Structure 1
Amino acid sequence: MNAVSTVAQLLASRCESRKHQSPLSPDAVARQLQALPGWSSRGNAIEREFTFPDYRRTIAFVNAVADLAENEDHHPELTVGYGKVRVSYGTHDVGGISMNDFICAAKTDAIYAP
């Protein structure tokens, strides 16, 4: 990956078959993270914590992310608590972080945006 994808480009993209991907280098991950404030890398994944004023909105967000995951065939790890959700995307099939993770991270941010 040479160029960093913008948020608009990520939002317009669809996840690709993992057969055609390889993990991004740590440098490429760091560069791409600049386009997604609030996200950070941790091991073989990128993650962000989202906060909510109550549990009902927390679960509504979880359900919306679940719909996204099914539509993109790319499923995050979710840690749910009262008023917060940690979302972690990693591409297990490639053993690291792929562009699919960034595509879904951008779409997750769009779900969260008011």
Structure 2
Amino acid sequence: MSRLLSADEVDTQLAGLPGWSRRDESLVATFEAPDFPAAIRLVEAAADEAEQMNHHPDIDIRWRTTHWLLTTHDARGLTQLDIELAHRISAAAASQGATARD
């Protein structure tokens, strides 16, 4: 099992993740794609990354807007897996022309 990150560790790593923030024991972000097919491609790309990591996000999609929630359930909080997956989701979003929304 991955080690829980301290609040300071999470805050430090969030500085390198524009659009992501901490909500309780989770990381959350919203990305808006140019259109619905791009949003679906973003979800597909992130799903491939998540499957490779065996670490799966909660995803909500509304037209071209995707909402993401990451946490390590078995650790009951945030681990390096969540940070790494957030980076991969951000990269997938950029590749589809999606932008982070607050």
Instruction: State the TM-score, normalized to the length of structure 1.
Output: 0.78
Counterpart of 2:48? 67
Counterpart of 1:99? 80
Q: 1:83 aligns with which of 64, 67, 79?
A: 64
How many Å separate the matches in 2 of 1:113 and 1:55? 15
How many Å separate the matches in 1 of 2:91 and 2:39? 15
CA deviations over 1:38-82 (Å, ceiling 9, x no partner): 110011111110001211111111111111111111100001101
CA deviations over 1:11-59 (Å, ceiling 9, x no partner): xxxxxxxx2x221111211111111111100111111100012111111
Percent of aligned pairs sharing the same letter: 35
Larger radius of gyration: 1
Is 1:24 aligned to residue 42 of structure 2?
A: no
Please tell me the root mean square deviation across aligned C-alpha atoms, in Å. 1.0
Aligned length, in residue pairs? 95
Structure 1 moving runs of 4+ over 4 Å: none
Higher relative contact order (CA 8 A, sep 6+): 2
Q: 1:108 aligns with which of 84, 89, 96?
A: 89
How many Å separate the matches in 2 of 1:80 and 1:37? 20
Instruction: State the TM-score, normalized to the length of structure 2.
Output: 0.87
Counterpart of 2:35? 54
SS at match of 1:85: strand
Q: Which runs of 5+ in 1 are unaligned?
A: 1-18
How many Å separate the matches in 2 of 1:48 and 1:38? 6
Give the letter aligned to residue 21 of structure 2: S
